[in-house]
Amino acid sequence: MAKKDIRALSLEELTLLFKEINEPAFRAKQIYDWLWSKSETDFKLMSNLSIKLREYLEENFVINAVQINELQISSDRTIKCAMKLHDNYVVESVLIPHQSRMTACISSQVGCSLTCKFCGTGKLKRMRNLNADEIYDQVALIKKTAAEKYNAPLTNIVYMGMGEPLLNYNEVIASVEKITSPQGLGMSPKRITVSTAGVAKMIIKLADDGVKFNLALSLHAANDEKRNYIMPINETNSLDNLADALNYFIEKTGNRPTFEYIVFYDFNDSIEDAKELVAFCKRVRGKVNIIEYNPIDESEFKQTTASRLKAFTEHLEMNGIICNVRHSRGKDIDAACGQLANKNKLALQQLK
């Protein structure tokens, strides 16, 4: 018989299992602690269990652990990790160090189905969704990397890696629960941001589910014609629909979203574009993160100029919009925003 994935069992299911094999109930809590608080992936190292019980677990269960297949360190100390999954697919995760925080940028899908024109991941096929354990493992491995490389704790998590998180809704929510639970990694949901390209009905579901984490919308254009061109998802999730969904989210959760806006030269960086963005921000109250464009292979877009960027941001600020310019990290190792395209050798064989 095939071994069962032990991390698919809840604490209650583990408790029933141990009752059936005449083990005390507290064993379930011990194993649950090893799996989700200590992030242990080897039964042999669960030292407070008897040898007999560890052998039983080894014979009957498996832990489909994610492993770091390749690690690259940027000149700015950003670290990109190619994460190998149990079925040999690869996703990429990034550790982004700042003076006051360590941020993990994690993936939710193998590849992506949204085909955004400016994004390297969008040029890959979507092979499958990640499960909650695989998303959790990325965080645990990045947390370990931050401790080993920089002697620093992991402080923030952004679901901004490969894939569209809201098209893998249930597993993303389950992963957040494991990461934030006191029986898991115990991180605050206020330190977690989930970024979406804009799936209106799932934003409404987030609101109805009363999520506590932060929400970011990859906006990049504040009129439908331009957004349709660069982000085909907008054809079925127009700015009107997104505005309604986001206002519902604000009403239900009390949390305002962040709008991510990559500035492309002579496409969405004019004063007229800034006026459209101001108008959208008046409809949906939120702050704006301006992101410099990171060129990818065969892209038609270019990075805007410093003067156009300055004029754009000054217009936002003049109209009372909270605006931060985010400078890219890890560009020299293709780890910056939009550059996660699985260029490591193993992934190239699978996703192209």
337 in catalytic set: yes
pLDDT at site 348: 46
Co-location of 214 and 341 in the same domain: yes
Query: Residues 23, 40, 92, 171: which is the catalytic one?
Result: 92
pLDDT at site 351: 45
Co-location of 98 and 57 in the same domain: no
Calpha distance 103→139 (Å, rounded): 10
Residue 146 structural domain: 68-351
How does pLDDT run across 79-136, given as a tens digit for each residue? 999 999 999 999 999 999 998 899 999 999 999 999 898 888 878 889 999 999 999 9
Co-location of 208 and 335 in the same domain: yes
92 in catalytic set: yes
Residue 100: which CATH number?
3.20.20.70
Of 35, 62, 89, which marks where a domain is finished?
Answer: 62
Predicted confidence pLDDT, tens digits, the chain (352 residues): 789 999 999 999 999 999 999 999 999 999 999 999 999 999 999 999 999 999 999 999 999 999 999 999 998 899 999 999 999 999 999 999 998 899 999 999 999 999 898 888 878 889 999 999 999 999 999 999 999 999 999 999 999 999 999 999 999 999 999 999 999 999 999 999 999 999 999 999 999 999 999 999 999 999 999 999 999 999 999 999 999 999 999 999 999 999 999 999 999 999 999 999 999 999 999 999 999 888 777 778 999 999 999 999 999 999 999 999 987 666 666 655 544 555 554 544 544 4
Co-location of 16 and 112 in the same domain: no
Total domain count, the chain: 2
User: DSSP string spanning 111-140?
Assistant: S-SS--TT-SGGGS---EEPPHHHHHHHHH
Calpha distance 335→350 (Å, rounded): 19
Co-location of 211 and 285 in the same domain: yes
Co-location of 136 and 150 in the same domain: yes
Q: What is the pTM of this model?
A: 0.91
Which residues, in sequence order, are CB contacts of 114 under 8 Å at separation 6+?
122, 164, 197, 231, 232, 233
Residue 19: which CATH number?
1.10.150.530
Report the length, in residues, of the chain: 352
What's the burial of 189, exposed, middle or buried (CB within 10 Å: 0-12/13-18/19+)? middle
Co-location of 136 and 33 in the same domain: no
